[in-house]
A and B are shown apart, each in its own frame.
Chain A
Amino acid sequence: MLNSDLIVGCVCAVLTGLVYFLTRDLSRLGGVFVNYVLVALGFLSLLLLIKGLVRPERIKFFESAVERNNVLVGLIILALYLIVMPKAGFLPASYVFYGVFNLYLAEEKLKTRNILQSLGLSAVVVTVFYFIFHHLLEVPLPPGSWFES
């Protein structure tokens, strides 16, 4: 069980210190609001830290190891998609992401039918939105640095 008050209080106190360090050279007009907010944030962080020591609120972060692993793998897949997209291009990266994520969330074992279903859906959903955003709304989606030359 984690002491949520202590964790939040510490993080906010560190954030306050960090922002103070990064904004100490601001002009009077540019810094006046930041300074007021920092004072309030510092004070509230201190209060929460005291509460965390006196009457802490305890929470269980993950219900199970499975939940933790699921979330971590999901985040890794999403992060990989974001890393690959500017290089491979929006369309190829999105096709792969949608298909892989769909298969990852499927409860059944990997079968040819599942894979084909995922690939088919991926092709339809991604292509439709690509068409709307890129061709109708003219949003310049990443073409992919690998293919630019």
Chain B
Amino acid sequence: MLEAAWSGFVQVFYPGNFLSLFFGVFMGIVFGALPGLTATMGLALLIPFTFTMTPAAGLIMLGGIYVGAMYGDAIPAVLINTPGTPAAIATTFDGFPLAQKGMAQHGLVAAAVASAYGSLVANIVLATAAPPLAEASLKFGPPEYFWLGIFGLTIIATLSSGTMLKGFLAGGVGLLLSTVGMAPIGGDVRLTLGFPELQAGLELIVALIGFFCLPEILSSVIGQRRAAYASQPVKPTLSVIGEVIVSLLKKPGLMLRSSAIGTIIGFAPGAGGNIASMVSYNEACRWDKHPEEFGKGTIKGVAASEAANSSMAPGSLIPLLTLGIPGSPPAAVILGALMLHGMRPGHELFTTHAPITFAFIMSMLVAAFLVTIIGCFGSFVFARIINIPARFLAPAILFMTVLGSYSIRNNMLDVWIMFFFGVIGYVSHKLKFHPAPIVLGLILGPFVEEGLVQSILTGRAAGGVLGYMVFRPISLILIGLSLMSALWPLYASWRAGRRPPERCAEEGSDA
């Protein structure tokens, strides 16, 4: 296997393959950075280009797109409080406050380095331990998914320690919004208000743009007539790159934990980068000696989110390459590409097609380094974007929010939903009813519902729903983690000697 891995590594550096990889990474960053375009979309759109390529070059390019997009989504998250893809939602919590403090370059470099680190760790796991991990992923049944969703929801407790009641209420509203559309089991059409377009549910990216981007522009640029998008102008310097890299390398625990969380959540089929980044952010905040820094602009928050969502990408390929089960939507597109090139997932991939498979795996490893280079040096250009006067930047951002919302499903209803959520987000922000838990509920709702309903059905057949849902090893671990996570703010408060609970992120809020 080591020989195949080395041969794959060498293949990546063939001029044609390396050019494909570079093009893929660049396109991935562009797709990730433009709200409304996702890694899945980028992969799907560029797959036809691979038809004429050799299987290795084609897959190498797709690997580059996937890794690039996982970093690219951090750029708008840091600069304009709008996650490029749902996976960067937690990046906004600290990335945007950093940009507001004139430290956008710190955020962008931290995102690039953490993305590369996460991707590197997950790729090593993918290359060395894919088969046993894939078998472990099959142990995830409906109860485990349900509890994983509940664990995700307990993040609200950390996110809104100060106003926990409103936080959970917002989470409930998000769960309710997630039920719009056709029920995953049963097929009932719910809360569509007569719009057939809503049968597929609310589009997550539309909600993210609405809840995060529009309120910020309405509040600071339009309402308060700020001359610039950020409070302080950014002055990118070369020393920031070294400073951030050294600072992150001094936090091996944070980086490794975040990467491990991303990889584990990645190989559980169905759980995506958005859950990985939220869980990782929550854990980073809980285990940090200074949780009060989170939400106010710290590179630790950006790194936790980005390392997790980037490690999710190779993680999601573990069940794909070994069992043919895609761990995420982009992985499903890659499955299609594999099939198009006549490669069937499973044992055959690691024997007959080993050189190509390992070239693909190694390409993602190399892509991680390319992301670091492009991200670090690109930060000089990207960071300056928010120095553009608000009167020029705000209309462009608003225009792009409309374009991004429209292009996902090509309908105006999504644009109106974005507008509506933007207004709700603005009002709720003013009422200190922060929208981050709403989005969290919206993300986790389908996950929790499917797990719950399937568990009820299977549990009844097995003789007891409660027993089926609770008394399983992974379920018990997740229940324990959920309890710990939910009760953590109380413990933190007690530990701090009855001071008010330390707030982790004010939902990216006052950012």
Contact = CB atoms under 8 A, between A and B. Distances in A.
Nearest to A67: B223
Contacts of B222: 70-71, 74, 105
A23 B175 CA distance: 14
A57 to B, nearest CB: 6
Chain A interface residue number, banded: 35 or more
Contact of B165 (A38, A48, A125, A137): A48
A65 B391 CA distance: 21
A47 to B, nearest CB: 6
A12 B419 contact: no
B426 A12 contact: no
A86 B406 CA distance: 11
Nearest to B41: A137
Contact of B179 (A33, A71, A86, A126): A33
A75 B423 CA distance: 8
Contacts of A30: 183, 185-188, 190
Contacts of A81: 402
A78 B430 contact: no
Contact of A59 (B187, B402, B412, B430): B430
Nearest to B391: A105
Interface in A47-67: 47-48, 51, 57, 59, 61-63, 67
Interface string B390-406: 11101110111011001
Interface in B391-446: 391-392, 394-396, 398-400, 402-403, 406-407, 410, 412, 415-416, 419, 423, 426, 428, 430-433, 445
Q: Is the interface of B mostly helix, strand, loop or mixed?
A: helix
B398 A101 contact: yes
Interface residues of B, number: 59
A22 interface: yes
Contact of A82 (B163, B166, B402): B402
A47 B165 contact: yes
Given A59-B432, A67-B224, A102 B395 contact: yes
A85 B431 contact: no
A121 B163 CA distance: 43
B506 interface: no
Interface string B176-189: 10010001011110
B406 A141 contact: yes
B175 A37 contact: yes
Contacts of B426: 71
Nearest to A137: B45
A29 B460 CA distance: 13
A29 B407 contact: no
Contact of A27 (B165, B186, B406): B186
Contacts of B456: 32
Contacts of A32: 452-453, 456
A49 B432 CA distance: 15
Given A4-B431, A22-B191, A67-B223, A126 B394 contact: no
Contacts, number: 161
B188 A59 contact: no
Nearest to B432: A4
Interface in A27-48: 27-34, 36-38, 40-41, 44-45, 47-48
A38 B227 CA distance: 44
Interface in A89-129: 94, 97-98, 101-102, 105-107, 121-122, 125-126, 129
A106 B222 CA distance: 11
A57 B431 CA distance: 9
B168 A44 contact: yes
B448 interface: yes
Interface in B202-241: 218-219, 221-225, 227
B172 interface: yes
B416 to A, nearest CB: 6
Nearest to A114: B391
B169 interface: yes
B176 A105 contact: no
A2 B185 CA distance: 42
Most buried by A among B172, B406, B456: B172
B407 A105 contact: no
A62 to B, nearest CB: 8
B73 interface: no
A57 B188 contact: no
A70 B223 contact: yes
B449 interface: yes
B133 interface: no
B278 to A, nearest CB: 19
Nearest to A94: B399
Contacts of A7: 431
Interface of A: 2, 4-5, 7-8, 12, 15, 19, 22-23, 26-34, 36-38, 40-41, 44-45, 47-48, 51, 57, 59, 61-63, 67, 70-71, 74-75, 78-79, 81-82, 85-86, 94, 97-98, 101-102, 105-107, 121-122, 125-126, 129, 133, 137, 139-142
Given A26-B186, A101-B394, A137-B407, 17 more contacts: A2-B431, A8-B431, A12-B172, A29-B453, A31-B188, A37-B172, A45-B169, A48-B165, A48-B169, A59-B431, A70-B224, A81-B402, A105-B222, A122-B395, A137-B37, A140-B410, A142-B406
13 contacts: A4-B433, A8-B433, A22-B191, A33-B448, A61-B430, A61-B431, A70-B223, A71-B426, A74-B218, A74-B222, A75-B423, A105-B221, A121-B392
